[in-house]
Structure 1
Amino acid sequence: MSFAPQIKIPAAYMRGGTSKGVFFKLDDLPVPAQQPGQVRDQLLLRVIGSPDPYAKQIDGMGGATSSTSKTVILSKSEQADHDVDYLFGQVSIDRPFVDWSGNCGNLTAAVGSFAISNGLVDASRIPENGICTVRIWQKNIQKTIIAHVPVSNGQVQETGDFELDGVTFPAAEVQIEFLDPADDGEDGGAMFPTGNVVDTLEVPGIGEFQVTLINAGIPTVFLNAEDIGYTGAELQEDINSDNEALKKFETIRAYGALKMGLIKDVAEAATRQHTPKVAFVAGPKSYTASSGKQVSDTDVDLLVRALSMGKLHHAMMGTAAVAIGTAAAIPGTLVNLAAGGGEREAVRFGHPSGTLRVGAQAVMENGQWAVKKAIMSRSARVLMEGWVRIPGDALK
């Protein structure tokens, strides 16, 4: 019996923020995978090592967490006044499924770097020394993101002294601007899909909860920590070792998705793992981060814990940070109230790995809240580049 040999595909393995993923140029993919569909999904699943019933992704590039089971496809932008089109695929660990429903804010920090280094940004726009402004079109959510990437001697500067909680080593700072991060709705109220900054969410078999449902950065369901029996200072093992808690969060997420209009039946939530996110908030408290770092209640405006792909995230998803910053800027949301209420243009929140600051400016337009941009700093670097190999029959 003969077997198809392995094929090799140019790729880079990159860290962006607190995530890692495999990056491809669109035209480097096998021709059948250059279009959306089953072949592309099969290729990315095989690259990452999914589906894996052992949940380890040993036979692929994935790291068996939601933060490391990620893929990115980049190409020269087809949009006017943009440099690069960015498509993100969140690969399920234990299911044959790639979720294209949202963005990865953390890996956004690596998009600009990859685009510069791989000829996707016009050379005339890259300074010899200074900051290169990369205009990114995020295809999953149809939004513009601006990455400010440091350049030294004509090359991306990856090393530096910027420290990011959740990342072990310092690197160069990359400032990211998410322009008009809220959903675009014809009714003008799509940022809050129900039209309310706070709703009551009924979850059969579990209870009723006060929630803020927001479409900004990524669709997110915010709850108060105390309403679900938590303090807001929990670390990963406090949640991820409790299967009943994980089931409860997934049920809350499913009914939140239904109330947000993202799905028509709760059963559809299983095929939409990446969105929405579910997060819980609490007022400032002192706690010990997962690294052993002491976080004082005076260091933060509030605490936030968020789940991604069914598990508590070890730090904070970049897109969820946008949702946090946006919600914090709008009076009356659960996030805003946990931070002390009132108007604010920036918030520093505590997460399991430490703290993060995100800025957002909210304005009232025609009786509806709007946010023009959210800003945060991340870092990124290439971990490995060359070719990734997969068995040839993976594309059948």
Structure 2
Amino acid sequence: MSQIPQIRIPATYMRGGTSKGVFFHLDDLPEAARVPGEARDRLLLRVIGSPDPYQKQIDGMGGATSSTSKTVILSKSESPDHDVDYLFGQVAIDKPFVDWSGNCGNLSAAVGPFAITNGLVAAERIPHNGVATVRIWQANIDKTIVARVPITDGEVQETGDFELDGVTFPAAEVAVEFMSPADGEGAMFPTGNVVDNLEVPESVAKGGVLEATLINAGIPTIFVNAADIGYTGSELQEAINGDLQALARFELLRAHGAVRMGLIDHIDQAAGRQHTPKVAFVAPPAGYVTSSGKTVTADDVDLLVRALSMGKLHHAMMGTAAVAIGVAAAVPGTLVSRAAGGGERISVCFGHPSGTLRVGAEACQINGDWTATKAIMSRSARVLMEGWVRVPGDAL
């Protein structure tokens, strides 16, 4: 019988936007986990409670959804003009896998508050009352994020009256600005087109061809028309997540889109890159009832969007996918722009399963190629618990 004692590691459990995860200061990790590699991945898997064939993560901090199976490692920044380096790990639920290929836009809202509270931002840059500007280096994708964190009496203000669909209780508003959000892996439109005819299996789309907008902004994302795959765009989680055949079709679509975007060489490699790209389907404005029973009318939104994360329909919208939506809406001719009625715009309000979200974005053409200058959205963040997580000593 194993009698290896547990070790304890300082950690903070935080909600950021519509996600939550376990936050670590890099220096607090066991030495072997302070560098990328197997030891770090094994530790984070054990912290979250993966892999779990029951898909419940009962023996860890995860919540058995893509929105709650997340980890963050922060440290004082080594990048010029930044305060904190932010590394995000998406932990698979039923597989021994941590995906480091992208960012979490929702948890980005919690990075600034954590950095201030844990001394990663110089004291002279924090007002006694007002808003602290935290300059974040997103290490997964080599991008800058600027978070504007409210401060009251020298401390992070977490409570307030800002409401965010997908989060039950109000909190203080944190404005998050994603600078130059076109993904670092290549051109914003990797094929050079704002709309492509994507070849897919017949099981995905009749005729084996599907219109798609393939974009690297915020996070690599594949947008398709809801009607082209048999949906209305007003679906809630139960309409898709309980349909194993539908989920298999979406995964096939994701794999073929990833190859077309140049993210992988063969569809078989998609299983090793679960966090990216995302798949989303769009539709023109229409009324629907959200997962909380709230009524959204067609007049409330510019378009409808539903997105999948880690193989399941998301309960609201991933922050990075919201960036992709905002940027795509700002580029005439994309499927997102078409669903929103076309034309030029600097912001878009879209309907998701939990309600609505507005995101602003700016895009322009340089030498004929589209690029994004920034995307902005408001989120909120709150510490849920702080102290230590415990894992068996052989977790590393």
Shorter-chain TM-score tier: over 0.9
Which residue number in structure 1 is paired with residue 55 of structure 2? 55
Which residue number in structure 2 is paired with residue 129 of structure 1? 129
Deviation at 1:363, TM superposition (A): 1.4
Deviation at 1:138, TM superposition (A): 0.1
Please give the alpha-carbon distance, in whole angstroms, between the structure 1 residues aligned to 2:202 and 2:283: 24
Written as runs of structure 1 = structure 2, the 5 A alignment for 1:11-22 is 11-22=11-22
Please give the alpha-carbon distance, in whole angstroms, between the structure 1 residues aligned to 2:330 and 2:202: 33
1:286-317, Cα deviation, whole Å (9 max, x unpaired): 00000000000000000000000000000000
Residues 139/366 of structure 1: CA separation in 2 closer, same or farther (3 Å cut): same
Which residue number in structure 2 is paired with residue 333 of structure 1? 334
Written as runs of structure 1 = structure 2, the 5 A alignment for 1:229-308 is 229-308=230-309
Please give the alpha-carbon distance, in whole angstroms, between the structure 2 residues aligned to 1:19 and 1:251: 26
Contact (CA 8 Å) 2:142, 2:184: kept in 1 or not?
no
Please give the alpha-carbon distance, in whole angstroms, between the structure 1 residues aligned to 2:276 and 2:378: 23
Note if 1:28 corresponds to 2:28: yes
- Write the letter of the residue equivalent to 1:285: A
**Equivalent position SS for 2:144:** strand
Please give the alpha-carbon distance, in whole angstroms, between the structure 1 residues aligned to 2:291 and 2:266: 37
Please give the alpha-carbon distance, in whole angstroms, between the structure 2 residues aligned to 1:80 and 1:191: 25
Please give the alpha-carbon distance, in whole angstroms, between the structure 2 residues aligned to 1:232 and 1:97: 31
Q: Which runs of 5+ in 1 are unaligned?
A: none
Please give the alpha-carbon distance, in whole angstroms, between the structure 2 residues aligned to 1:140 and 1:204: 32
Please give the alpha-carbon distance, in whole angstroms, between the structure 2 residues aligned to 1:316 and 1:370: 23
Residues 184/6 of structure 1: CA separation in 2 closer, same or farther (3 Å cut): closer
Which residue number in structure 2 is paired with residue 205 of structure 1? 202
**Equivalent position SS for 1:298:** helix
- Write the letter of the residue equivalent to 2:328: A
Deviation at 1:184, TM superposition (A): 4.3
Deviation at 1:205, TM superposition (A): 3.3
Written as runs of structure 1 = structure 2, the 5 A alignment for 1:1-396 is 1=1, 3-184=3-184, 190-206=187-203, 207-395=208-396
Bigger CA drift: 203-212 or 308-317?
A: 203-212
Q: TM-score, normalised by structure 2?
A: 0.98
Please give the alpha-carbon distance, in whole angstroms, between the structure 1 residues aligned to 2:33 and 2:242: 38
Equivalenced residues, count: 392
1:184-205, Cα deviation, whole Å (9 max, x unpaired): 477xxx1000000000111123
**Equivalent position SS for 1:162:** coil
Please give the alpha-carbon distance, in whole angstroms, between the structure 2 residues aligned to 1:209 and 1:161: 43
Please give the alpha-carbon distance, in whole angstroms, between the structure 2 residues aligned to 1:359 and 1:45: 35
Please give the alpha-carbon distance, in whole angstroms, between the structure 1 residues aligned to 2:97 and 2:365: 39
Please give the alpha-carbon distance, in whole angstroms, between the structure 1 residues aligned to 2:184 and 2:240: 34
- Write the letter of the residue equivalent to 1:361: E
Please give the alpha-carbon distance, in whole angstroms, between the structure 2 residues aligned to 1:384 and 1:356: 27
1:70-118, Cα deviation, whole Å (9 max, x unpaired): 0000000000000000000000000000000000000000000000000
Deviation at 1:367, TM superposition (A): 1.1
Contact (CA 8 Å) 2:14, 2:22: kept in 1 or not?
yes
- Write the letter of the residue equivalent to 1:373: K
Please give the alpha-carbon distance, in whole angstroms, between the structure 2 residues aligned to 1:393 and 1:113: 32
1:324-353, Cα deviation, whole Å (9 max, x unpaired): 000000000000000000000000000000
- Write the letter of the residue equivalent to 2:268: A
- Write the letter of the residue equivalent to 2:8: K
Moved runs in structure 1, 4+ residues, more than 4 A?
none
Q: Which runs of 5+ in 2 are unaligned?
A: none
- Write the letter of the residue equivalent to 1:369: W
Please give the alpha-carbon distance, in whole angstroms, between the structure 2 residues aligned to 1:92 and 1:185: 22
- Write the letter of the residue equivalent to 2:198: L
Bigger CA drift: 55-64 or 358-367?
A: 358-367
Contact (CA 8 Å) 2:136, 2:144: kept in 1 or not?
yes
1:110-159, Cα deviation, whole Å (9 max, x unpaired): 00000000000000100000000000000000000000000000000000
Identity score, percent: 76
Please give the alpha-carbon distance, in whole angstroms, between the structure 1 residues aligned to 2:202 and 2:8: 50
Deviation at 1:369, TM superposition (A): 1.3
Deviation at 1:208, TM superposition (A): 1.2
**Equivalent position SS for 1:36:** coil
Please give the alpha-carbon distance, in whole angstroms, between the structure 1 residues aligned to 2:239 and 2:81: 46
- Write the letter of the residue equivalent to 1:279: A
Q: TM-score, normalised by structure 1?
A: 0.98
Please give the alpha-carbon distance, in whole angstroms, between the structure 1 residues aligned to 2:221 and 2:395: 34
Deviation at 1:2, TM superposition (A): 5.1
- Write the letter of the residue equivalent to 2:113: S
Please give the alpha-carbon distance, in whole angstroms, between the structure 1 residues aligned to 2:374 and 2:2: 55
Please give the alpha-carbon distance, in whole angstroms, between the structure 1 residues aligned to 2:271 and 2:184: 25
- Write the letter of the residue equivalent to 1:12: T
